[in-house]
Amino acid sequence: MYDLILVSPKNTQLGRFKRFVPVSVPIGVGILAGFLRKHGFLARILDTDLVDINPDSMEAELNQCKKPRIVGISVMTANVANGYKIASLVKSVDKEAIVIFGGIHATVMPDEILQNENIDYVVKGEAEHTLLELVRQLKDGKIEQDKLGNIGFRENGKIVYTKTSTKMLDIDDVPMFPYDMFDPSKYNLGFILTSRGCPFDCIFCSQRVITRRVYRYTNSERVMEELDYIINKLKQPNVTFFDDYFTGDKKRVMKLCSMIQERGFHKKASFGVQTRGDSIDKELMIAMRAANFDSLMFGIETAVDNLMELIQKKETVQDNIDAVKLAKEMGFTVEATFIFCFPTETFDDRFKALALALEIEIDRARFNNATPYPGTEMYDMVKDKLNIEPGWVNFSSAGAVTAGVRRKHPLPYVPDGSTVNEL
């Protein structure tokens, strides 16, 4: 029997391309499940990218959950519509079940969430300690609001919130990712997350509503323990660091590279990371290559410096050009992301991005349309010009690309002077 169910709603906006995209591990839900297990609560992870749910299957899931039955649903803007459907399904099967929403969309749009009668609680911000305390109180049958921070709920028909807690999580308190909770035949488990947060202010990024620009990283010994498990237990030959800003502390990365070699991990696996053009140099690349890091992904985003300034990347196009050229010389496979659809952007600006990717010989380039998600500065900049479909069903950077010109839903935003077909 489980103490609660944690649900990751599927994102249906990849459309016909979905079958070509590997299923991603729901990392946020996994982290919460591992944290709860550390503190004595066993969660059932329900990934609806893999499991179709209906009244019968939901009833079967709930029957495996101890009372009071708690269902936590983690939502981003791109999948919140499916989150609402799951909440409705849960309540249709068991009206006494307690439904909790968390995640980025729940953090920035809590009033919207709590207007839905199928949702009982909202958890805002980093959820580990907040969800743990809420689950404890629900299981004890007594809610003590003064011990709960960053929680929203309805009381006598009104939406109320508990005190706001600004204390940030010590990520060394979070246990190793619970890889054992995921079927290796269904997921690629060759990944690790060793830090949290990013100190920059990119206008298109909504992640900082959770991490608040506070950059923290796991201690190096813990990283080695996790790599040992991934490489020697799970036998993963390629490990991707999913850190938003892996190279944020050069000394730390140099130390990790040395420790990887000392333990011989570099002989058994290769490694890839995401980085910035202004935060990696030749000395660091040499150390990383020696530790068998062979893939770098750069978030270049644009080939025009005035747009680079607009989106507040705090780096230049030339920073990225220099870093990519050096990485290629050092033998790295180089990937890059570019984003279209920024305010003031022109067709010529977009063409320059394509030309740049070809000129500096990016091995794999990905082009997405910017989506002004709630919680981003871009959303505040253009909210009067947005096309918002019910349930935010058209808010997906991937969906904007995969839907094609015969789309069912309009793009959420089109810059002045551009057309839908251009984008």
Residue 266 within a domain: yes
How many domains does the chain contain in total?
2
CA distance 152 to 368: 34
Cα 390 from chain centroid (whole Å): 23
CA distance 215 to 74: 22
- 112 and 13 belong to one structural domain: yes
Residue 180 within a domain: no
pLDDT, position 422: 80
pLDDT tens per residue across span 178-201: 999 999 999 999 999 999 999 999
Domain around 8? 4-161
- 241 and 100 belong to one structural domain: no
pLDDT, position 420: 85
Q: Which regions in the chain score pLDDT beneath 50?
A: none
Residue 166 within a domain: no
**CB crowding 263-288: b at 16 or more within 10 Å, else e:** eebbeebbbbbbbbbbbbeeebbebb
The CATH number assigned to the domain holding 79 equals: 3.40.50.280
- 223 and 362 belong to one structural domain: yes
Helices (H), 103-235: 104-108, 110-114, 128-140, 208-211, 220-228
- 153 and 198 belong to one structural domain: no
The CATH number assigned to the domain holding 395 equals: 3.20.20.70
pLDDT, position 11: 77
- 58 and 128 belong to one structural domain: yes
Residue 327 within a domain: yes
pLDDT tens per residue across span 394-415: 888 766 666 655 666 788 999 9
CA distance 203 to 180: 36
- The answer, yes or no, to whether the previous bond of 68 is cis (omega within 30 of 0) is yes
CA distance 178 to 234: 12
Question: The pTM is what?
Answer: 0.94
- 246 and 333 belong to one structural domain: yes
